[in-house]
């Protein structure tokens, strides 16, 4: 056995730095795949940056829309109130005002105001005879009454709702229960 014979079983291993032609095609494929992956990553990054910018623009636009809505929310209602102010000014500016003309001017003004409230969905609460509702009524006093307990007896000031939300509660007096006695009443029985 000759150690220099390449056909010998004891021949030294092949040179590790030598490039096999079959492996050269594999390296070329890897380089092409790497370039393809880098190009795809660049496209995805660009698409992500564009989507992020679009999201930021939509968010800023929504914030601006909300700010404008808050700033100008009362504009339509104010426009509806202008005829009411005009009617009051005309009534006050009139010469030789009689009680009848003053009353008719006030009625027309009230009608214009009710119309403006209707367009703004402001609803009057006049709960006389209804069951007391602490969410819509503010009890000013309890009174003896022939009405059922917790019934609104008198309305001192009407309340108002706007879109089913209490704008101002109605100020009311409420019927006492028949069995309700106060400490003062019980003490005076002696």
User: Half-sphere exposure (CA, 13 Å, Cβ side) for 79?
Assistant: 6
Q: pTM for the full model? A: 0.57
CATH T-level assignment (fold) for domain 121-181: Nucleotide Exchange Factor Grpe; Chain A, domain 2 (2.30.22)
Q: What pLDDT was estimated at residue 190? A: 36
In residues, how long is the chain?
190
- Percentage, residues of the chain above pLDDT 90: 50
How is the chain split into domains, by residue range? 21-73, 75-120, 121-181
Which tens digits make up the pLDDT trace of 132-175? 999 999 999 999 989 999 999 999 999 999 988 999 999 999 99
């Amino acid at each position: 056995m000759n150690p220099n014979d390449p056909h010998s079983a004891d021949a030294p291993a092949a040179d590790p730095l030598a490039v096999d032609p079959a492996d050269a095609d594999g390296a070329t494929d890897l380089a092409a795949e790497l370039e393809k992956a880098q190009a795809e990553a660049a496209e995805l990054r660009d698409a992500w940056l564009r989507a992020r910018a679009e999201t930021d623009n939509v968010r800023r636009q929504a914030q601006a829309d909300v700010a404008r809505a808050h700033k100008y929310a009362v504009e339509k209602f104010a426009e509806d109130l202008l005829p009411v102010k005009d009617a009051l000014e005309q009534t006050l500016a009139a010469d030789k005002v009689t009680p009848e003309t003053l009353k008719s001017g006030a009625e027309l003004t009230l009608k214009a105001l009710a119309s403006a409230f209707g367009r703004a969905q402001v609803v009057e609460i006049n709960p006389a005879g209804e069951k007391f509702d602490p969410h819509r009524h503010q009890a000013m006093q309890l009174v003896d009454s022939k009405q059922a307990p917790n019934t609104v007896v008198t309305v001192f000031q009407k309340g108002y709702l706007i879109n089913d939300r209490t704008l101002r509660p109605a100020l009311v007096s409420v019927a006492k229960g028949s069995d309700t006695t106060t400490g003062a009443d019980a003490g005076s029985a002696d």
